[in-house]
Each structure stands twice: as C-alpha cells, then as structure tokens.
Amino acid sequence: MSALPKSPMSQGIDVVTFGCRLNTYESQVMRREAESAGLGALEGGAVIFNTCAVTGEAVRQAKQAIRKARRDNPRARIIVTGCAAQTEPEKFAAMDEVDLVLGNEEKLKAHSYRALPDFGVNDTEKARVNDIFSVRETAGHMVDAIEGRARAFVQVQNGCDHRCTFCIIPYGRGNSRSVPMGAVVEQVKRLAGNGYAEIVLTGVDMTSFGADLPGAPKLGRLVKTILRQVPDVKRLRLSSIDSVEADDDLLDAIATEPRLMPHLHLSLQSGDDMILKRMKRRHLRDQSIRFCEDVRKLRPG
C-alpha cells in the first residue's frame, strides 16, 4: 500500500494504492485522468483509493485507510475504486466517508471524475460500477513515470478466463483481454526514454496474453519484440506467470536474452494434488517442479 496523505490541509490529488503491480500502473493513469478532469482544483483536494479484493484483509485495510483519510482530510473528496469497489460497491457506497465509488473500467476515464462535485446524495448515486464482464478491450494507456518507483510497470493484459474455485479476481477484472503489441512497445519506449532502466511487464493472467489479438501472438513473442525494438531497455522483468501457459518463444527468451531477468514468480497455491484439483488449478505438483527444473537448465543460476 502506498503512503496515506499526511496533512489535513493537503490539496490536489492523493492516490492510495493497494495490491498488485497492475494497480500501481493504473494508479498513474487514474491520477492523470483525475487531474485532467479538474479534480485537484476542488477545495480540500481529493483522495482516490485503488483497492484490492484478493483477501478479506486487503478489504479491511482499505476501509480502515478510508476512515483515517476522512479524519485527516475532512474537506477532501474521497473516491474508492479498484477490485474491491468492483466486487462490493454497495459496501463502500454505504460508508459515510466515501463520496464516489468507481468500477475498474470507470476509474481510467476522465469523465468519471468530472461529476464528482454533484455526488454524495445517496448510496445509489455514489456508485458508478458497470458489468466488468461486458468489457471487451483493454486500452494501451500511456504514462510517463511510475511515481515513487525506480522500475516502471507496463500493463500487457487484464482479466482472466479461468475460474479457480477460490478466486475472486475475474469478478473484479472481467475476462482476459490483451493490450495490442504496438501499444505495449510504445509504452516501453516512452518509459525507457524517460530514464527507467528496468521495465516490469504485468497483467492479471499474463501468460494468456495475445489470445484475443489478431494472429494470437503469445507472451514470448511480445518479450522478444520489446527487446528487439527497444534497445534502451537494460532489464526486462516478468511479474507472475502461469507455468502451464509458458510458450516456446518465452522459454527461448529466458535461455538466450541476457536483458530478460532470470526471475520468475509462479502462482502455485499448493503442493498437494488433491487441493490443486479442488481449486480447479491447471497444474499438478510434479508439473510445477519439472517446469522449475527445465527453466534452470535453460538458465543456470
């Protein structure tokens, strides 16, 4: 979670981010769109909470932070968005501290913030949350920097088509949809040109990248294209991947591309096959172990 606003007299826009790298990236887009909508000019400023729904504790912490922000900034407009707002909008709208609740699609659009001064009449009007499963595309939003970070995050994909037994993420993010390759490359160029030596590719189910794009390019092709077309990138890193979806080009890049960092985060969840089956995961224990062994052979160390 990023730091809470410190001063009760703070003006402008404060964005408080919970959860994943994708949220961190989207918070930069939200700040830009809210500023373009004039939100920072409101008396008392505004505080935007970009929430996470992956655990009950994450939701609890968000509510606690919202209450503290209201105590510290009694005149600020408070907006709640992100995955928890998408999945439980009525709970946040019922909080007296909250002026506006936005869904994950609405939070990235300037016009969502322009109506804020007229909001707060009742709980129904406070919530602007659409059906996330109706969203078919993920736009390639451009940002110039990731505030407070030495490395930059770039979104390549959003949503998830899988329905693991325990997982709420698809209900917060919708179905899988990819950012077009050209938009990803342009974003990486922009950030590398602004001095970021390391770029981290991120998404909800990143190894499903490309299935909805023309020609169905896979993550490995995207990685190789970035490294070829953006020589200024000194280090390219991957966030969490699903080992059963790792394609041949991705494995080849791991083996042969020194600028692709020798770091993989695998979402395994359990080492027990029965638990994995009950979770509706798509891998078994031995498959995960074998994948790690194979990757270490490709890239010793």
Give per-residue pLDDT as tens, 88-109: 999 999 999 999 999 999 999 9
What is the reported pLDDT for 41? 85
CATH code assigned at 32: 3.40.50.12160
Assigned domain for 137 exists = no
Per the structure, the count of domains in the chain is 2
Q: What is the per-residue pLDDT across 31-67, written as a single tens digit (0 to 9) for each?
A: 999 999 988 888 889 999 999 999 899 999 999 999 9
Query: Percent of the chain at pLDDT above 90?
Result: 78
Same-domain pairing of 26 and 88: yes
Count other C-beta atoms under 10 Å from residue 116's C-beta: 20
Same-domain pairing of 67 and 174: no
Same-domain pairing of 17 and 123: yes
Assigned domain for 4 exists = no
What is the reported pLDDT for 138? 77
Query: Phi/psi class of residue 30: alpha, beta or left (left: φ > 0; alpha: ψ in -120 to 50)?
Result: alpha
Assigned domain for 2 exists = no
What is the reported pLDDT for 149? 82
Same-domain pairing of 232 and 266: yes
Where does the pLDDT of residue 122 fall: very low under 50, low under 70, confident under 90, or very high at 90 and above? very low
Place of tokens 């008392």: 44
Assigned domain for 25 exists = yes
Same-domain pairing of 111 and 188: no
What is the reported pLDDT for 89? 96
Q: Mean of the pLDDT values across residues 219-246? A: 96
Of 77, 95, 130, the last residue of a domain is 130
CATH code assigned at 240: 3.30.750.210
Q: Mean of the pLDDT values across residues 64-80? A: 95
Q: Mean of the pLDDT values across residues 143-151? A: 82
Between helix 285-298 and helix 248-256 the angle, nearest 10°, is 40
What is the reported pLDDT for 146? 82
Assigned domain for 7 exists = no
6 pLDDT more than 50 = no
Same-domain pairing of 116 and 194: no
Same-domain pairing of 173 and 283: yes
Place of tokens 């002026």: 99
Same-domain pairing of 124 and 239: no
Same-domain pairing of 272 and 194: yes
Q: Mean of the pLDDT values across residues 162-176? A: 93
Parent domain of 277: 152-298
For residue 15, give both structure tokens: 């964005």
Same-domain pairing of 157 and 292: yes
Assigned domain for 42 exists = yes
CA 143, 144, 150, 152 dihedral sign is positive
What is the reported pLDDT for 197? 94
Assigned domain for 262 exists = yes
What is the reported pLDDT for 10? 41
Find the helix or strand (DSSP H, E) in which 298 lies: helix 285-298
Same-domain pairing of 125 and 185: no
For residue 58, give both structure tokens: 């994450």
- Report the candidate in 81, 83, 71 with the shortest Cα–Cα distance to residue 126: 81
Assigned domain for 143 exists = no
Same-domain pairing of 170 and 222: yes
Q: Are 91 and 65 in contact (CB under 8 A)?
A: no
Q: Mean of the pLDDT values across residues 241-245? A: 93
Place of tokens 């700040």: 31
4 pLDDT more than 80 = no
